[in-house]
Each structure stands twice: as C-alpha cells, then as structure tokens.
Amino acid sequence: MRIFIAGATGAVGRPLVSQLVARGHDVVAISRSEERAAAVRALGAEAVVGDVFDRERVIDAVQRAAPVAVINQLTDLPASMDMRRLGDTYVRNNRVRREGTRNLLEGARRAGARRFIVQSMASWYRPDDGPEGDPIKSEEAPLWTDAPEPIGEAVRTVADMESVVLQDASIGVVLRYGAFYGPGTWYAPDGDIARRIRSRSFPIIGSGAGIMSFVHVNDAASAAVAALGAASAAIYNVVDDEPARASEWVPFYAEVLGAPPPRRVPAWLARLAIGRALTAWLTSMRGASNRKIAAELGWRPAFPAWRDGFGAMV
C-alpha cells in the first residue's frame, strides 16, 4: 500500500516507518529538514522536504505521492516542557493540529486517499467518573473541553481536529494515544521526565491519585499499522492494559532509574509552582481502555504493562 506520513521523523514516526517498510508498504514522508528527510530515506522510505503550514506545497506533495492512506503523526512540542509556561508550549502544537491536519486532509482528498489516520490524545477525557463510577475511559466518554486554560484550548483543538478528520476523510481513524514512552520521548532515560525524577523535581502531588495510561512508541506505531485495516471511521484509544496512578508509576520509575524516591507535595503548593491547570490535570486525570481497538482491529501492545516497558527501556 502507498502511504504518506507527516511526522515520520518523530518518536512514533520513526518506528512507524520501519514497521511499514518491513511489511512491504511504499512510504512517502514529509519533513521540514533535508537532514531528517535523509534519515527517513535511510529507513527505506521516500521523503520530501516541506512544511505542513505551506498549504500548496503539502497538497502538491500528497497529490504527487498518490497515497492510498495518509498518516498524521504531527506534534510540535519541546524536548523539555516549561511547566510554568504551558500556554506558550501549546501554541505551536495547537497550530500544527488545526492547520497542519486541514492541509493534509485537503491533500488526501485531492489525491483520492481512502484512509486518513491521525494522532490524538487519550489523557484528555473529562476527569469525573462515568455513570458506573469507572475511572477508566472508553472512547464514548466526553473530552475535557472546559478544562482550566491553557489545557482547555489544547483539548478543544484536539476535539476539532478529530471531528474534521472523522467528517472529511473518506475513512478517518483517530488514534487517541496514551503517554508515549520509549526512545525520543519525555519518559526516555535521557528525557525530560526522567531528568526531573532523578533530580527529585517530579513530585507526587496530593495522594497521587491521577491515573495515566501509557504506551510504548513501538506499540503506538503498530496501532497505526493496524488502523490501515479499519473498515470504517472510528476513534480508538491506544494505551497499554494497565492504567497507572501517579503514586505507583513515579516511585517505580524512580527506582528503575536508580533515583531517590520522589517527594510528595500538597496540591496547593503544586498550584503555586506549576499553576492551576496542570495541577488539576495531573491530580484528576483518568486512564483509558484499549478494549475497542483490541476487539475491532485485533491490536495488542507488545508491552501490555508499563512496568515491563519501563524496565526494558532503561
């Protein structure tokens, strides 16, 4: 199958290109840099240089590639998050999701691509428990579009991106990913979160009841491969089997890294240090369920448990 990928040089994009090439697909990638385009070519794909904000260039690149499927793994997040300036961080990412996605969609439409697969987020469900009091969210649960700012705007951006893909693509598939770990991510041993955990500046806030769902980047990539077989438009959570409370995963990861145990701070102190939005999110976030993608696409993660994945990563 001929496949056009945006975001091919990122943490998920790299394993995705390798997995697609290994399965015999023809892959065409777009990157803003000739150097990163060359790295994609070394993996066995074609690559063009271009910026997804350059609408005409992107549409032309997709049309020339004439793909059957387009995969959008775009993000624009810094290697190190400034937790006090979350709003600044999300400006670029929000733009790439709104504008980049629309430009790619138009290219896909003109090229007659049958499928459009897009990266979204599984950690932005509204944090209240559902009718059954279940903190683990299925795809039907509402997104937290009225979260404190600037998270609210980032969630609304994702909701908008998802709805244009579901409406405008021939078959639109939304992959709501858990927190990425593995090479090139914030959670990698050389990444931002690991650095903060080593320096004891990633504390457990309150009782550590915020629940995070993780996914290894190789599993994130294999879910995008599985999504190429989706028969109809759908939203899927792409997470491992074991949603994790902060009170479990932070001390575990500290131990794996050989770091001292994390500090604990009350929520009021966290609000002063990192603001209301991030504190609310970290303390109330809910995990997600992968039941739907397992049942409908047969996807299973190679690392069903983050504990095993973290251990293997380090």
Ligand X SMILES: NC(=O)c1ccc[n+]([C@@H]2O[C@H](COP(=O)([O-])OP(=O)(O)OC[C@H]3O[C@@H](n4cnc5c(N)ncnc54)[C@H](OP(=O)(O)O)[C@@H]3O)[C@@H](O)[C@H]2O)c1
Q: What does the binding site for ligand X look like in residue numbers (CB under 6 A)?
A: 6-13, 30-33, 36, 51-53, 74-77, 96, 100, 121, 177, 179-180, 184-186, 191
Euclidean distance between CA atoms 262 and 7, whole angstroms: 34
The DSSP line for 61-117 is: HHHHH--SEEEE------SS--GGGHHHHHHHHHHIIIIIHHHHHHHHHHHT-SEEE
Q: How far is the CB of 36 from ligand X (least distance, A)?
A: 4
CA 4 to chain centre: 18
Q: How far is the CB of 230 from ligand X (least distance, A)?
A: 20
Of the two residues 12 and 167, which places its CB atom closer to ligand X in the complex? 12
Continuous segment of H or E residues that includes residue 7? none
Q: How far is the CB of 195 from ligand X (least distance, A)?
A: 12
Euclidean distance between CA atoms 107 and 97, whole angstroms: 15
Residue 16 backbone phi and psi in degrees, to 5:
-65, -45
Q: How far is the CB of 220 from ligand X (least distance, A)?
A: 8
Q: How far is the CB of 64 from ligand X (least distance, A)?
A: 16
Helix (H, G, I), strand (E, B), or coil: what is residue 6?
strand
Of the two residues 126 and 232, which places its CB atom closer to ligand X in the complex? 126
Residue number of the CB closest to ligand X reads 10
Of the two residues 36 and 115, which places its CB atom closer to ligand X in the complex? 36
Of the two residues 75 and 289, which places its CB atom closer to ligand X in the complex? 75
Of the two residues 115 and 176, which places its CB atom closer to ligand X in the complex? 176
Q: How far is the CB of 20 from ligand X (least distance, A)?
A: 15
Of the two residues 32 and 109, which places its CB atom closer to ligand X in the complex? 32
Question: Going by C-beta distance under 8 Å and a sequence separation of 6 or more, which residues neighbour residue 143?
Answer: 124, 125, 126, 155, 158, 159
For residues 29 and 41, is the Cβ–Cβ distance under 8 A? no
